[in-house]
Amino acid sequence: MKKRLLIVESPAKIKTILKFLGNDYLLMATFGHVKDLPPKKIGVTMTEDSISLEYVPIENKDKVIAEICKTASKCSEVFLAPDPDREGEMIAWNIGQEIAKVIKDENAIHRISFNEITKSAVLQAIENPGEIDMQKVAAQQARRVLDRWVGYEVSPILWRKVAKGLSAGRVQSVALRLICDREMEIRNFKPEEYWSITGDFQHGESIISAALTHIGTKKAEVTNETDAKAIVDQIKKAPYTIDSITDKTRLKNALPPFMTSTLQQTAFNQLGFSVKKTMQLAQQLYEGIPMGQDAPVALITYMRTDSLRIADSALKQARDFISKQFGSSYLPPKANVFDGKKKKVAAQEAHEAVRPIDVTITPEIAKRHLQKDLARLYELIWKRFVASQMTPAQYAQRQVDIKGGQFTFRVTGSTLIFDGFLKVYFVDEDDEKENKVILPKDLAEKDPLALKKIDPKQHFTQPPPRFTEGSLVKEMEKNGIGRPSTYAAVLNTIRARSYTTLDERKRFVPTELGTLVTDLLVANLPDIMNISFTAHMEEDLDKIANGEMERDTLLREFYTTFQKDLKKFAGDKGKKPVKETNVRCPECKKANLVIRFGKTGEFLGCPNYPECKFTCNIERSPEGEIQCKEIEKPQLLDVACPNCGKPLRQLIGKFGPFIACSGYPECKYIHQTKAGFPCPQCGGDIVKRRWRGGTFWGCSNYPKCKFAVFGDIEETPCPLCKLPFLIKKVAKDGTVTLICSDKKCGYVKK
């Protein structure tokens, strides 16, 4: 009897799924995408009648495709089970097309999907197979073509106009613009002075601190020290009483369960995880982790989702758990339902929020089996989900207004009277601030108060903060830029291209290169750099996935305007754009220095080159002003040059620090660290050298002798072949391994 074949994306899922299925099934993985547009050309052909896409196997995927097709040809049925999103649909379509070439009956090929890797979900999917959703495929194709056009057609222009190795991206460049615009806001920000005035009032044995809120009927707005002093003088003269007391109960509702973007933001803010790390850990939790059993256990639902929907079975399990663990007072009369911000589209409706598959696997149980960071992320997801189905927290809130003449002071005290969902998920900053102000219970309206102290404080308005990974994801989501599943790749790219750096608080700072590229793209390609245009494009991609728009309609509309702007941008043969600074050239004093970009990065140079060859490294002052970075003077050493007798000095070169003669250029001696053994090939000295990849040991008779050893060495003879050294490798955990460099010998010591 022929077996049935089930194909997934990731090999990590195979063990998790295999335990649900009998011996009638074979499982194989595509290891992600198997085909894509060709790497060395655009691969998109547009005619008046159609737009055709060329797909080729991804590098090293020919063998994967061949093995899957060979196995499929011997099976009775094939179930395509990549992830339940557009990328997964494209993988299913690509591999399905290849399988169709070797299976006579195309009806034997099925598309199945499941939102969680559980026995019931997998078996239900197999029992109710479907077909490839070509609307999802079309949406993925449209996104891929848009990204290919922007990346392949804009990047070469940047290479020519700015520097080689740069890239542009439809979403990446807009995300970079957000960072650059925020930095410009910060630099242009002008602080405004304001004053707060707080009074300490005595009531019996108690002191009540309250803030000045109104002067007469107007809100108290004090903008300078002179006014503050005048107001304080008047405040001291007035008698004070309690004008009003307002008591009420305030409810704080539970937050919704996570979707991808909120999981990324919260994991960054609370756990310090990068977006990339969060998605990698979540992928492992979704695919399955060994939990003291032979087969892995999947712990969470699919982690790429815009949905806040919860399956009825999961709601029932959560409500039963809450009732048993915490009691009926923590369980609302009916399940809490949350509405997502996104429009409902066919591509997303099947998804759920990110939640634990089984709430009875508590964080305490998970910690026994999971690596630390996996356990922390699971705990966050578990607590957020369970708390989302619990009753609100309740606060007794008392607001007291204190009046004296024309001055009104106000204080609000808040006391937690029922913790509700906070019993599980007490992490919000607002929660931690509660209960700070405690008001006396015996207060009554018209009670007299004695002003004991008045405290005026000067403040200045603050500029908007730089973006962290968490806040940038939030901003991108708010503006509809990209999709949560792409955020990690976008953030990595803008850092990898040297467009941004991170400050000491892990906040994005655009480099001069990032700012220049952004300004260039905004000026020449206004549509693709327009935030609302990019968001509208995402909505259109959703429409394609929902069957409300044709793929080619979107692509043609985009390309018409894009090609027009692109031709103008590419046709501008002017000089490479440079950014002028306010720093006068210290050598020729004829012009201000400009920012240039070379192989080693950005630097300041004189625009009168080659007449004036002055250059220096860039640094910014605390106020954001560009200035020349002072070059550290070479440090003289108390060691004489063996050639000429002058002192040696410590220098910084292209590949790091080195020691050379201070008599250069007359004396060209460079100190080299020598090994205590001769070259095994020619008997010459073995010296330590530097290169871009680090350090290595090589023969001093190079290029006649090309003996070299990369990495560190230990001058201990190999006990087997008697070679006078061993290669030393140090693992991340500090473990040292000694290896003989002669592969034929094979000696290893740990």
Q: With H, G, I as helix, E, B as strand and everything else as coil, classify residue 435.
A: coil
Q: Catalytic pick from 240, 286, 302, 425?
A: 302
Mean pLDDT of 383-405: 96
Write down the mean pLDDT value for the chain. 89
DSSP, collapsed to helix, strand or coil, labels residue 506 as coil
200, 455 in Cβ contact below 8 A? yes
Cα 174 to Cα 87, 94, 180, 252, 482, distances in angstroms: 22, 30, 10, 36, 9
% of the chain with per-residue pLDDT over 70: 93
The residue ranges of every structural domain in the chain are: 4-132, 141-189+465-571, 193-253+393-460, 260-388, 579-628, 651-749
* CA–CA distance, 412 with 84 (Å, rounded to integer): 49
Percent of the chain with pLDDT over 90: 58
| CB count in 10 Å sphere of residue 102 | 15
The Cα-based distances of 136 to 52, 112, 345, 546 in angstroms read: 17, 14, 11, 8
286 is catalytic: no
- Give the type of residue at 419: D
- Tell me how many degrees the CA angle 228-229-234 measures, rounded to the nearest 5: 100
- Give residue 451's pLDDT: 96
| pLDDT of 482 | 87
Task: Give the residue with greater pLDDT, 260 vs 436.
Answer: 260
pLDDT score, position 284: 94
Question: What is residue 574's predicted lDDT score, i.e. its pLDDT?
Answer: 63
Tokens encoding 331: 């369980």
CA dist., res. 662 & res. 641, Å (int) = 8
Mean pLDDT of 563-567: 91
Question: In the CATH hierarchy, which fold is given to the domain comprising 141-189+465-571?
Answer: Topoisomerase I; domain 2 (1.10.460)
How, if at all, do strands 656-661 and 626-628 pair?
A: unpaired
- Model confidence over 654-701: pLDDT tens digits? 666 788 898 888 898 888 888 888 888 888 888 888 776 677 888 988
- DSSP characters over 108-122: GEEE---SS-SHHHH
Q: Does 347 score more than 50 pLDDT? A: no
pLDDT > 60? residue 344: no
**What single-letter amino acid sits at 423?**
K
Q: Are strands 77-80 and 4-8 parallel, antiparallel or unpaired?
A: parallel
In sequence order, what are the residues at sequence separation of 6 or more whose Cβ sits closer than 8 angstroms to the Cβ of residue 64?
A: 30, 31, 34
Fold of 4-132: Rossmann fold (3.40.50)
The amino acid occupying position 338 is F
pLDDT at residue number 349: 45
Give residue 286's identity as a one-letter amino acid code: Y
DSSP 447-464: -EEEEEEEEEEEEE--PP
Which pTM was predicted? Answer: 0.78
End-to-end CA distance of the chain: 50
| Averaged pLDDT, 85-110 | 93
pLDDT band at 730, cuts 50/70/90? confident
Lowest mean pLDDT among 449-463, 564-578, 705-719: 564-578
Distances (CA, A) of 107 to 84, 99, 207: 21, 12, 81
| pLDDT at residue 732 is higher than 80 | no
Angle at 309 between CA 304 and CA 311, to 5 degrees: 105
Structure-token match 């196997």, residue found: 57
Please report the pLDDT score of residue 570 as a whole number: 86
Structure letter (DSSP) for residue 271: I
Looking at the DSSP assignment, which residues form a beta bridge with residue 206?
Answer: 203
CA distance 176 to 578: 19
Helix (H) or strand (E) holding 413: strand 407-418
DSSP bridge partners of 201: 208, 451
Structure confidence by residue, pLDDT tens digits, 44-72: 999 988 999 999 999 989 999 999 999 99
Q: Is 406 helix (H, G, I), strand (E, B) or coil?
A: coil
What pLDDT does residue 434 have? 47
Mean pLDDT calculated for residue range 437-447: 89
- Determine the Cα–Cα distance for residues 165 and 693; give it in Å rounded to an integer: 19
pLDDT of res. 377: 97
CATH number given to 193-253+393-460: 2.70.20.10
Confirm or reject CATH 2.60.40.1120 for domain 260-388, answering yes or no: no
Please give the structure tokens belonging to residue 169: 């991206």
pLDDT digits (tens, 9 = 90+) for 390-400: 999 999 999 99
Task: From residue 205, give the alpha-carbon distance in Å to each of 146, 169, 315, 495.
Answer: 71, 66, 51, 59
Average pLDDT over residues 121-135: 93
Do 53 and 141 touch, CB atoms closer than 8 A?
yes
Query: Is 188 a residue whose pLDDT tops 50?
Result: yes
Look up residue 249 and give its amino acid.
Answer: T
User: Does position 206 have pLDDT exceeding 60, yes or no?
Assistant: yes
- Model pLDDT, residue 340: 58
**pLDDT tens-digit readout, 487-537:** 888 998 888 778 998 888 889 999 888 999 999 999 999 988 999 999 999
Q: What band does 345 get if pLDDT is binned at 50, 70 and 90?
A: very low
DSSP 197-256: EEEEEEETTEEEEEEEEEETTEE--B-SHHHHHHHHHHHHHS-EEEEEEEEEEEEEPPPP
- Please say if the pLDDT value at position 348 is more than 50: no
pLDDT for position 291 = 81
Q: How far is CA 197 from CA 125, 239, 353, in A?
A: 65, 17, 46
8-state DSSP, 368? T
Predicted pLDDT at 711: 79
CA distances to 67, 137, 243, 373 from 106, rounded to whole Å, are: 19, 19, 82, 44
What pairs with residue 312 in β-bridges?
none
Q: What is the DSSP string of 546-611?
A: TTSS-HHHHHHHHHHHHHHHHHHHHH---PPP-EEEEEEPTTT-SSEEEEEEETTEEEEE-TTTTT
Question: HSE on the CB side for 706, CA within 13 Å?
Answer: 1
pLDDT tens-digit series, residues 15-38: 889 888 988 999 999 999 999 999
Lowest mean pLDDT among 192-206, 302-316, 401-415, 628-642: 628-642
Do the Cβ atoms of 671 and 659 come closer than 8 Å? yes
* Residue 432's pLDDT band (cuts 50, 70, 90): very low
Residue 199, pLDDT score:
96
